[in-house]
Amino acid sequence: MIERTLSIIKPDATSRAITGKVNAMIEEKGLKIVAQKLIRLTAVQAEEFYQEHMGKPFFPNLVEIMTSAPIVVQVLQGENAITEYRKVMGATNPAVAEEGTIRKTFALSIDKNTVHGSDSPESAKREIAFFFSELEIYE
Ligand code: ADP
Ligand code: MG
């Protein structure tokens, strides 16, 4: 099934100027970038986007990091894109991520882990709508 997922190239990657390298890995794995923009999140936006993690010990640090520099938000499209992109990203903690994944290759730590990807069809729908109107997504 052709799906769409929401990807974020996080501040640790934009600040190291490796967004092109991350995009190259995404495209090499057959995921198509059908929408993309560079933005800077406010704390309120970051808190709302990551609302499922509100109250967890790492939440304040997560908001701090996600607002520390611009991010690239993108919609990826492809066969089983949600699950496929999670595989391309690798585990949340780069120390245990598989070889060849984005996080194994580029992440600095569990909190500066280079990319975000939606974890379910419901999250993908909410997260895509959070950043993009239907008109901004290439068919
Ligand atoms: P993922 O991004 O792989 O879906 P989660 O949804 O569990 O992971 O967490 C969201 C983000 O919060 C992670 O990508 C990471 O930036 C941060 N995070 C998660 N767990 C921790 C932790 N134990 N310590 C610090 N930051 C964390
Ligand atoms: Mg998650």
pLDDT for 74-97, tens place per residue?
999 999 999 999 999 999 999 999
Q: Supply the pLDDT for residue 137.
A: 97
Contact yes or no for 8/115 (Cβ under 8 A): yes
C-alpha 120/C-alpha 58 separation (Å) is: 22
For the chain, the average pLDDT equals 98
Residue 139 has pLDDT above 90, yes or no: no
Q: Supply the pLDDT for residue 16.
A: 98
Residue 34 has pLDDT above 80, yes or no: yes
Tokens at residue 12, please? 């640790």
Q: From the CA of 56, which ligand is nearest?
A: 1
Q: Supply the pLDDT for residue 50.
A: 98
Phi, psi values for residue 8, rounded to 5°: -125, 130
Pick left, alpha or beta for residue 135 (phi over 0 → left; psi -120 to 50 → alpha; otherwise beta): alpha
Q: Which of 10, 110, 118 should be mutated for ligand 1, with most atoms under 8 A from CB?
A: 110
E-state strands within the chain: 2-9, 32-39, 71-79, 115-117
Residue ID of nearest Cα to ligand 1 atom 26 = 111
Ligand 1 atom showing the smallest separation from residue 92 Cα? 3
Helix axes 19-28, 81-89, angle to 10 degrees: 130
For residue 88, which amino acid is it? V
Phi, psi values for residue 41, rounded to 5°: -75, 145
Q: Of all residues in the chain, what percent carry a pLDDT higher than 70?
A: 100
CA dist 101 → 18, 28, 88, 98, 126 (Å): 15, 12, 5, 6, 25
**pLDDT per position as a tens digit, 11-32:** 999 999 999 999 999 999 999 9
